[in-house]
Structure 1
Amino acid sequence: MFINYNNNPVDTKLYDTTRLRQEFLTEALFKPDDICVVYSHIDRVVALGVSASTEVLALNDHINDKAFGTDSFLERRELGIINLGEKAEVRCKQQTYILEPLDALYLGKGEQDIEFVSLTDKHTSLYCLSAPAHKTYPSRLIRRSEAKVVELGSSENSNARVINQYLHPDVLPTCQLCMGATHLEPGSVWNTMPAHTHERRMEAYLYFNVKPDQVVFHFMGEPSETRHIIVRNKQLVLSPSWSIHSGCGTANYSFVWGMLGENQTFDDMDFVDMNEIK
C-alpha cells in the first residue's frame, strides 16, 4: 500500500515536474494478479486497482487492516467500483455481483470477505474508491443503463461530453462517496473548462480510453499558480480541494471522477474566471 500525504498549496507551487508526479500521480494502479492500494490523507480516500485473472483475488490478502485501525476494511468505510474492463465478478460474504463493462457497484459499510475474479480470459480492470462512512446503506449493482446521464459542452468549444453518474444522490444513497464516468465525444479534448475548485470536497480522476500514442495534460494547482501533469491510460490523479482539476487531451478520452467531503452536491463548484486563471 502506498501512502500519500496531504500537500500545502504554498509549498506545491515550488515543486518541479518529478515532485508533482510523485505527490499527485499514480502511474501503475493496475498490475496483473494484484490489488494496488493508494491511501491518501486527502480526506482519507483510498483508491484501488484490481487486476484479477480467473484465479480469485481476496481483498483481505492485499490490505493490512491494522493500517486502518479496524478488523476489516469496510468496517467503517464504503466502497465504489467501476468496471473498466471485461466481464468480472465481485463476491461478498452475503452476495455475488456480475459486472459487465462500465457497470458500477456500491458496497456499503460492513461488507466482508470481498473477492474479485475475471469471467473472461483477460485480467479485470476494476477501479475502486473508498471513503470513510458513518452509516450503512444497502449495497447495489448499478448497470451502465441505470446511471444518470448528463450531456454537457459543445463541439465548438471542443468539450462535448457525456457524464454517467453512478454513485449519485439521484441514483442511490451513500454516506459521502460520489462516482461517475465522463466520456468525451470524438473531436473534443477539454473537460471542465472554465476550471473550478470546490473547497468542500476533494476529487480523484482516473483517466482511461487514452490511446497508447496519446496523452492528457491534467491541469492542477491554485487558479493563480497552475501546473500540469502528463497522464496516460489508467493513471490516477488526486486533487486536493484547493486545486483546479481539468484536462486537455491530444485526442478524446474518458475518466472516472470520484468525490468525497462536506456534501454530495454535484454542481457545488467555485468557477474560475477565464480572465483570472494563470
Structure 2
Amino acid sequence: MEIRYANHPNEVKGFDTARLRQEFLLESLFAANELNMVYTHVDRFIVGGVVPVGRTLKLEGDKKELGADTFLERREIGIINIGGRGAITVDGTVYPMESKDCLYIGLGARDVTFASDDAANPAKFYFNSCPAHKTYPTVKVAISEASPNHLGSITNSNERTIYRYIHTGGVQSCQLVMGMTLLKPGNMWNTMPCHTHNRRSEIYLYFDMPEDGVVFHMMGEPAETRHLVVRGEQAIISPSWSIHSGVGTSNYTFIWGMAGENQIFEDMDAVAMKDLK
C-alpha cells in the first residue's frame, strides 16, 4: 500500500508539475489480478482498484500500516464497479455487480472478495474507504435504483446527471459520501463555478473517456489555481482547501467520494468566478 502525506497550501504554491502529480494524482489503480491501494493522510482515505481476471481477489490491507487484523476492523468502504459484470462476496453473501452499481460495506465485515463474470470483460472495482466508529448495514444500490439529479445546460457545457449513492438521504454511513456524475455528449465542464469545503476532503476518479482523451483538472486555492492533466481511470486527491473542477476534451464520467467532519452534500463554500486566479 502506497502512503501519501498531507500538504499545506503554502507549500503547494511552489510545486512544479512533476511534484503536483507525485502528491495528488493516482495514475495506476487498475491492473489485472491486482488490488492496488493508496493511503492518504488527507482524512485518512484509502483509495483503491481491484481487477479480478479468472480468479477471486480478497480485500486485504497491510497490517503494519492499518494496525488491524482485517481491512474493515475500523473502517467502512464504498465500492463502484466501472467495468464488466462481477460480484462482491461479503462474509458469505454474494452481491452481483453490474457496471456503475455501488456497494457499501460497514465496519466489522471480515471476508470481502471480488470476482468477474467474464475474464475477457472483467469487472473493475473502484473503492473509497475511511475510518468508521459505528456499524451500518451492507447495502447494494444498482444504478437503476439510484435517483438521478439532472443539472447544468448545454449552453454552459455542463449538462450532467448526478447519482448519489452513499449520503444522508440514501445509504447510511459514518462519514463516507459517494456518488457519480455523468456528463452528456457535447459537455465538458464539471463543478464550475467551483467551491471548496473546509469540513471535508474529496477524491475524484475520471473514466468513460476515449483512449486519447484527457481532463484538465483544476486544483489549488481559489487565488492560486493549478492544473493537472488526468487520463482515464486515474484519480485525484482534493484537500479541503482546494477547488476541484475540470474540463475535458470530450464528455466523461467521474466518481466523487468525500469524508470529513460532516456528510451534508450542500455544505460547500462557493467561489465567485471573479475571485478565481
Identical aligned residues as a percent: 51
Displacement of 1:54 in angstroms is 2.4
- Pair 1:224-2:214 in alignment: no
Q: Give the whole-Å Cα distance in 1 for the aligned partners of 2:122 and 2:4.
A: 26
Displacement of 1:94 in angstroms is 3.6
- What secondary structure does 2:107 align onto? coil
TM-score (norm 2): 0.98
Task: Tell me the alpha carbon deviations over residues 163-206 of structure 1, each in whole angstroms, 9 at most, x when there is no partner.
Answer: 01111121121101011110001111000101100000100000
- What secondary structure does 1:275 align onto? helix
Task: Name the amino acid aligned to 1:124.
Answer: A
- Pair 1:80-2:78 in alignment: yes
Q: Give the whole-Å Cα distance in 2 for the aligned partners of 1:98 and 1:124.
A: 11
Displacement of 1:4 in angstroms is 0.6
Task: Tell me the alpha carbon deviations over residues 16-38 of structure 1, each in whole angstroms, 9 at most, x when there is no partner.
Answer: 00000000001111011100000
CA contact 1:148–1:170 (8 Å) conserved in 2: no
- Pair 1:56-2:56 in alignment: yes
Displacement of 1:269 in angstroms is 0.9
Displacement of 1:147 in angstroms is 1.4
- What secondary structure does 2:19 align onto? helix
Task: Tell me the alpha carbon deviations over residues 34-69 of structure 1, each in whole angstroms, 9 at most, x when there is no partner.
Answer: 000000000000011001112011123xx2122111
Q: Give the whole-Å Cα distance in 1 for the aligned partners of 2:22 and 2:122.
A: 27
Task: Name the amino acid aligned to 1:196.
Answer: H
Match of 2:250 in 1: 251
Match of 1:35 in 2: 35
Match of 2:114 in 1: 116
- Pair 1:196-2:195 in alignment: yes
Match of 1:238 in 2: 237
Displacement of 1:146 in angstroms is 1.7
CA contact 1:57–1:116 (8 Å) conserved in 2: yes
- Pair 1:24-2:33 in alignment: no
Displacement of 1:124 in angstroms is 2.1
Q: Give the whole-Å Cα distance in 2 for the aligned partners of 1:88 and 1:65.
A: 27
Task: Specify every segment of 5 or more residues in structure 2 that has no aligned partner in the other structure, as ranges.
Answer: none
- Pair 1:66-2:64 in alignment: yes
TM-score (norm 1): 0.98
Task: Name the amino acid aligned to 2:274.
Answer: N
- What secondary structure does 1:18 align onto? helix
Displacement of 1:87 in angstroms is 0.6
- What secondary structure does 1:39 align onto? strand
Q: Give the whole-Å Cα distance in 2 for the aligned partners of 1:103 and 1:81.
A: 8
What is the 5 A alignment of 1:91-102? Answer: 91-102=89-100
Q: Give the whole-Å Cα distance in 1 for the aligned partners of 2:176 and 2:48.
A: 15
Q: Give the whole-Å Cα distance in 1 for the aligned partners of 2:98 and 2:249.
A: 28
Task: Tell me the alpha carbon deviations over residues 62-84 of structure 1, each in whole angstroms, 9 at most, x when there is no partner.
Answer: x2122111111101100000010
- Alpha-carbon RMSD across the aligned residues, in angstroms, is 0.8
Match of 1:2 in 2: 2
Aligned residue pairs total 276
Task: Specify every segment of 5 or more residues in structure 1 that has no aligned partner in the other structure, as ranges.
Answer: none
Q: Give the whole-Å Cα distance in 1 for the aligned partners of 2:3 and 2:83.
A: 26
Q: Give the whole-Å Cα distance in 2 for the aligned partners of 1:35 and 1:196.
A: 32
CA contact 2:49–2:124 (8 Å) conserved in 1: yes
- What secondary structure does 1:21 align onto? helix
